[in-house]
Amino acid sequence: MRILRLILARLVASAFTLVLVSVVVVVGVQGLPGDAAARILGREAPAAARARLREELNLDGPLVGRYLHWAGGAVRGDFGTSFASRLPVAGFLGPRLLHTLALSALALLFYVPLSILPALVQARRPDGPLDRAITVVTVLILSAPEFLSATLLLFAFAVIWPLFPPMVQLTAGMGWGAYLHMLLLPAATLGLLLATYGVRLLRESLIDIHRADFVRMAEFKGLSDRRVLWRHVLPNALIPWMNATALNIAFMIGGVVVVEKVFAFPGFGSALVDALQLRDLPVITAGVMVAAAIFILVNLLADIGALLASPRLRTLG
């Protein structure tokens, strides 16, 4: 029952956070300076036409009224109409979000082993040859700009060894095999770039936990190294790694613009950047809220995973 109360408390806190974020985002975006109607119709449009459009788009009302109007529509799944394309925001962003979710899920399949296995190798022999070699590789990847690493991988596996297409071209009728083939190289690139952070964090966490008193006590009791690792060290060391992974997942959804641009991927992040350039307020609001909701959700799942993985957190909670 205690674990259920802790999970329920986190659910309530997450819901309250999402509502608070929606207020900040909607009021902040709606309160941006500039005339959105003039941006849509052009500066030369008659003042009467701009006034009618502002009234149609509910741009002249007070911010509180605009927030309540947006919130009422969002509850029904109606996020308004895009200023630029004049299409429903949900229909415009939905396919791009699905593409980015598919890319992120595939990247996560690369991220998990690429961040856990090297850290286990490093923690087994700290400051050994393998530890130093893996450290050099991760530092090199971390030091290089993301667009450079993505471009080098694109050049290597799409030009020198043409195993993958240089541009992601997604069509409505393509099969799952072709779809996954299109996503494989950008997903592997994204997973590799994010795994470098996870490797370094998990390595340090594994080494610190292995020196803890409760681990030494388990070793004194005669438990094998493998059992100590899998039962005591790794579950506790994974807790900060889970929190970092939650941030990485949230980054995959809204912050993969560099990878999307390099591979010409029609994803959620690039759509949001284009909306910011066009000052497309409904798309900006919906996009930021979706990214915030995913960020809150993955952090909630990370907290629940940490509670389930560590009895000590359940006791402290």
Q: What is the mean pLDDT of residues 83-96?
A: 84
What does the pLDDT look like over 226-262, one tens digit per residue? 777 777 777 778 878 887 887 777 777 765 788 888 8
DSSP for 75-98, written as a single string = HTT---B-TTT-SBHHHHHHHHHH
Q: Is residue 158 part of a domain?
A: yes
Q: Are 209 and 312 in contact (CB under 8 A)?
A: no
Between CA 270 and CA 22 the distance in angstroms is 22
Range with the lowest mean pLDDT among 31-35, 100-104, 199-203? 31-35
Q: What is the mean pLDDT of residues 58-87?
A: 79
Cβ atoms < 10 Å from Cβ of 46? 9
Q: Is residue 134 part of a domain?
A: yes
Q: Is residue 29 part of a domain?
A: no
Q: Is residue 180 part of a domain?
A: yes
Q: Are 312 and 1 in contact (CB under 8 A)?
A: no
Using alpha carbons, select from 75, 80, 38, 91 the residue that is nearest to residue 58: 80
Q: Is residue 175 part of a domain?
A: yes
Q: Is residue 239 part of a domain?
A: yes
Residue 176 is part of a domain; what is its CATH number? 1.10.3720.10
- Report how many domains make up the chain: 1
Q: Residue 279: exposed, middle, or buried by beta-carbon count in 10 A (0-12, 13-18, 19+)?
A: middle
Is residue 110's pLDDT more than 90? yes
Q: What is the pLDDT of residue 111?
A: 92
Between CA 278 and CA 270 the distance in angstroms is 12
Domain holding 129, by residue range, is 96-266
